[in-house]
Structure 1
Amino acid sequence: MGYLALLRAPHVTRLLLGTLLGRLPAGMTALVIALALRESGVPYGRIGLATSVYALAAAVGGPVLGRIVDRTGQPRVLLASAVIAGGGYALLALAPGSPVAAPLGAAVAGLAMPPLEPCLRSLWPDVVEDEQLDTAYAFDSASQQILYVAGPLAVAGIAGLFSPVAALWVAAGLGLAGALVVATAAPARAWRAPAREKSAGLLGPLRSPGLVLLLVGLAGAGWAVGAQNVLFIAYAERHAGGLPGGGGTLLALAALGGLLGALAYGTVNWRQSTATRTWLMALAMAASYLPLVTLPGPYPMAALAFVSGILLAPLLAAAFVLVAELAPTGTVTEAFAWLVTLFATGNSLGYAVSGHLAEGSSLRPVAVCAAGGIALGAAVLFGARRWFRSAPTAPRFEPVGAVEPAEPVEPAEPLTVG
């Protein structure tokens, strides 16, 4: 099934556009916080604190909101979190120079960031046919690549035309608008997770060893992306004028590679299992990062940037399906939220370590840091491949108001992918 067929399916276009709109602030916030606080004369130390607080709060809040969605449904959580997060952005916009209000606003905005990503991925099995799932997750992954570019560009445009504070207000409005579009859609209103397994306990989806190992492996991919971003920016500074657009061009080429890679992935009728595809994509991504260590001239580096980006989105597309297969019954939204958290945590750590390494005389350690992150993640995924088996379960999703049948019926067959 192709992308046109996917987009013609009921509700798909609305859900995609709504989540893109509502997730755009996630690609804007770190940069817009830095610009708004700096415009108010805040020192870099406090700017770093505010952005770190935002990232940490988002990492904590995502799984918590995901668990609440699994227990109560999507609309109320999406709308309430969007309103609260909007309050955090408003606090930042009204008092960006305050040593108390600014980090507090950043914390609220991060903690209450609407869980649109995990909600959409929980909805896909209800919205599309089984044979369209790979295509849907690939399109979802491709859209992420757009956000990596569109978020900073939106901040730059709004800040240039108006001010960084105006961009904070826009981020608040976009989050609320996106949440409204998704929360009022029929699939979101009808979706309910099946009854949570009693054995899930406090750990929820993290009691699945296979899922934990998958998340750890994907954190390695996040590390690689964070380190790669630092590498490209530092490389462009040391080759000033060697490439039009400098570091921005290298980052855009990597995102373009990911976009095209995801779109190509979604058109293939894969015979391998989802688990096999996941570790194969990770190994291929690790191989694509190795040439970066050579640090060639600007134009060959541009080609390597494009190639290194191709496998990220297909890896995530395969991982999305695998997360749904591995998550214990009744915990799928929280499981997707943990994926976002672990990837973002790896990304932040990759940024931090590579940023320190970039202060040296050579950028080769930074490139090794990026390649090493995905290599380690791929090794974890390959070594854990025997754990990537989902136990047979009842159907994962139930429509609202489902009526118990008068007589026993045959359970639905479990979803098989690949």
Structure 2
Amino acid sequence: MSSYLSLLKTPGVARVIGAQLTARFPFGMLSLAFLIHLERVYDSYGAAGLVLGAMSIGQAIAGPLTSRLMGRWGIRPVVLVTMTVCTISIVLMALLPLAVYGVMLIGFLAGLSMPPIQPAVRTIYPKIVNSRQLTPLFSLDASAQEIIWVLGPVIATFVAIQVSTVAGILLAAVFLVGGGLWFVSLPEVGRVRIPRSKRAIGAVLKKPEVLLSTIVGFMLVAACAAVEAGVVAAFGHGSAESGWVLAIFAVGSLIGGLALGHAPIGPWALAGRMLIVTVGLALAAFDLGFWWLAVTLLLAGVGIAPAFAVLFGIVSASVKFSDTAEAYGWVGTGQLIGAALGSAVAGFLIDHSGPTAAIIVAAGFAALGTLIPALGRRWHPDLRGRDIGPIPDTEPIRTIQVS
């Protein structure tokens, strides 16, 4: 813990982490708040899954595009514009009485305009710490973001039940605006200028390391989305137990991130961390009682933040600085497509086979996320003892030969 406290004393680190966590806090609230709200409005988890899927698909499309735009227009303008459009869309989804397809369209727009906070902050980190501090910072960040998933579901569930589902969604919109404005006001954000990439969009996916991170991130988040839907369905939208179970799931991730933050990242690191998630989710499917789910999802959570830290480290060490934001955008796209698929498949199975089926599907996604890096370990860089900062952008320099 002393190393993390020392890291937080580095100028700019604590405020960047705090601002980006606040700006991203709605991500921990919106899925559950919309799931409860839409199930109550349309009396169907399938309908709720479709809307959440549409939102995630919008985010997936926007990920590499808005990330790349930050290299053209700058971080601040892109975050401010997307934040405004996204906030308006979320408020309309909560207030307007529309058919399911209408909410899906607005949800798609909300996802399309979700501020690219995560790619921005992952690009900023190498500029505010040295290369030796970067691995612990990625781990600390992955662990700290679990605050979003600890408090977000609890707050969303509490407000939805005690006040109204609309109030829960509007509260998330307040966090989105407040956190976004705090983030863009930071001096570190103003000082970092992302170079404009000279390569075609999508070319960064030709890097096997980026593709591996994108695919495994897809599997991991699909598993988490399916678990979220299954837990809510298991306890019903009127119970606060679902929020507490999901919070415990996130606490496991927080514990794992802090405990494994300094573990060496070798070729088996990603598969090993995903195996922890797989075992926990497989055990969870045997019983949907509160305490059994709490214990097994706590175990599954231990592998999540460490797996994300490995994904971030792989990308950072494998691409040029000008391509970093887009690379993280594609990794985020993989995760969001996973969230869309996980929510949609889980919602369909819950309606037809019950919540246990959603947990089984989650374990299946996690198992694939374990198998893929195990089979593709030759594309998994060995980062033990290596500088994981992004590769500097270089270009030919004209020289004059004096005879």
- Normalised by the size of structure 1, how large is the TM-score? 0.80
Aligned partner of 1:285 in structure 2 is 277
- CA distance change for structure 1 residues 110 and 358 in 2, over 3 Å: closer, same or farther? closer
Higher mean displacement: 371-380 or 339-348: 339-348
2:257 is equivalent to residue 262 of structure 1: yes
Give the conservation status (yes or no) of the 8 Å contact 1:228–1:370: yes
Answer yes or no: is 1:371 the counterpart of 2:363: yes
The equivalent residue for 1:70 is 71
1:321 positional shift: 1.0
Cα distance between partner residues in 2 of 1:357 and 1:34: 15
Change (3 A) 1:168 1:128: same
State the partner residue of 2:172.
171
* SS of aligned partner of 2:322: coil
Once the two structures are superposed, what CA deviation does each residue of 1:345-403 show, in whole Å capped at 9, x if it has no partner?
2233233334444456787655443222112111111222212349x9996578xxxxx
CA separation of 1:89/1:352 partners in 2, compared to 1, >3 Å: closer, same or farther?
closer
Specify the alignment match of 1:222 in structure 2. 221
Pairwise CA distance, 1:158: 4.2
Give the AA of the match of 1:212. Answer: L
How does 1:115-130 map onto structure 2 within 5 Å? Answer: 115-130=116-131
Identity of aligned residues (%): 27
- Alpha-carbon distance between aligned partners in 2 of 1:315 and 1:35, rounded to the nearest angstrom: 29
Q: Within 5 Å, give how 1:27-46 maps onto structure 2.
A: 27-33=28-34, 44=44
Contact 2:158 2:240 in 1 (8 A): no
Stretches of structure 2 that go unaligned for 5 or more consecutive residues are none
- Tell me the equivalent position of 1:320: 312
Write the distance in 2 (CA, Å) between the matches of 1:393 and 1:339.
Answer: 17
Q: Which runs of 5+ in 1 are unaligned?
A: 238-243, 399-404, 409-418
Amino acid at match of 1:55: S
- The alignment's C-alpha RMSD in Å is 3.6
- State the distance in 1 between where 2:287 and 2:48 align: 31
Kindly provide the amino acid, as one letter, of the partner of residue 133 in structure 1: L
Alpha-carbon distance in structure 2 between the residues aligned to 1:164 and 1:367:
25
Task: Give TM-score scaled by structure 2 length.
Answer: 0.83
Aligned residue for 1:202, secondary structure, equals coil
2:276, 2:302 within 8 Å by CA — same for their partners in 1?
no
Superposed, which structure 2 residues align to 1:17-56 within 5 Å?
A: 17-33=18-34, 44=44, 49-56=50-57
Counterpart-to-counterpart distance in 1, 2:107 and 2:360: 33
Q: Secondary structure of 1:114's match?
A: coil
- Pick closer, same or farther for the CA change 1:43–1:293 going to 2, 3 Å: closer
- For the residue of structure 2 that corresponds to 1:282, the secondary structure is helix
Contact 2:60/2:333 (CA < 8 Å) preserved in 1? yes
Offset of 1:106 from its aligned partner?
2.6
CA distance in 2, matches of 1:164, 1:287: 34
Contact 1:15 1:181 in 2 (8 A): no
Instruction: Report the secondary structure of 1:192's partner residue.
Output: coil
Tell me if the contact between 1:195 and 1:329 (Cα under 8 Å) persists in the aligned partners.
no
Q: How many Å separate the matches in 1 of 2:345 and 2:364?
A: 12
User: How far does residue 145 in structure 1 lie from its aligned partner after superposition?
Assistant: 1.8
Q: 1:310 to 1:378 in 2, by over 3 A?
A: same
User: d(CA) in 2 for partners of 1:364 and 1:176?
Assistant: 37
Give the 3-state SS of the residue equivalent to 2:78 in structure 1: helix
Q: Does the C-alpha gap of structure 1 residues 66 and 296 become closer, same or farther in structure 2, counting only changes over 3 Å?
A: closer
Higher mean displacement: 255-264 or 217-226: 217-226
How far does residue 246 in structure 1 lie from its aligned partner after superposition? Answer: 4.1
Work out the CA distance in 2 between the residues paired with 1:183 and 1:133: 22
Q: What is the alpha-carbon distance in structure 2 between the residues aligned to residue 370 and residue 159 of structure 1?
A: 25
Alignment of 1:19-418 (within 5 A): 19-33=20-34, 44=44, 49-93=50-94, 95-99=95-99, 102-159=103-160, 163-196=164-197, 198=198, 200-233=199-232, 236=235, 246-266=241-261, 268=262, 270-273=263-266, 275-295=267-287, 299-358=291-350, 366-389=358-381, 396=391
